[in-house]
Structure 1
Amino acid sequence: MKQKTGIVKIRVNSQLVRSKKGAKLTVGGVKREVDEDAYEAVYSESKIAPRVEFTVQHTSDFSVQDFQSITEGTITFECDNGVIFVLEGAVYLEGGELSDGDVSFTFAATTCTEQLGSTSNA
């Protein structure tokens, strides 16, 4: 039986972060829109940047400002089913608000590469 993603580990510039349940990944790619007139339908394309959103527990060894200063980082989104997504050129977008001991962050990146896990459970 194949395994679906349940637990995710997130690394920012190789540092494992204590991400909480609910992390989100948008792999990015191309967005297509259709424009129709009385004679035909045509489409246009625009780029969607990869994006990752996650929340971490704020502990004494975690610097919020270090994460806010990231402009050319690497983020890995490691799924427990063996699939890994690597986001290159990551830049901090928003977050950093400390609430109830947690801090949320949103990053965008220039590329997202998917590395498939083992297919031994096929």
Structure 2
Amino acid sequence: MSSINLVRIILGLVFIIILLISGKNYFEYRNVVNKNKPIEYKFVKSFYTIGRGRSYNMDVVYKGVTYRVEITERIADSIAMNNYPKMYYVSSKDKLITAWHVMFSFRIVLLSAAAVLICCLPFRKLSKMMRKE
């Protein structure tokens, strides 16, 4: 077995694991957003951190517990104008999410599915498919 095939197998397994985890998150988050009403929470603060890029977060209190929720720049801008996002509680993860988390999980599912396909397809078939287009 060549080292290229071994790398493809290992990468394929890694992407399959990512696909399964993100797929589980997507379906769980989608069910929570579709079936439950938004929760009532108390806004504490929003802030951003700078590392490799800008990361936006907000702290909220729900049922006496403080949660840190990841948000987008657009949500942070709307918070600055006193428009607070709808939040949903995921009881299995003890986590608060917004509708953005559903879309983010879906994007990860799509990217990891594409990566699995690329890792699993033989290079000859892949190159033939690219030439036909």
When normalised by structure 2's length, the TM-score is: 0.23
More strand, by proportion: 1
Q: Which has the larger radius of gyration?
A: 2
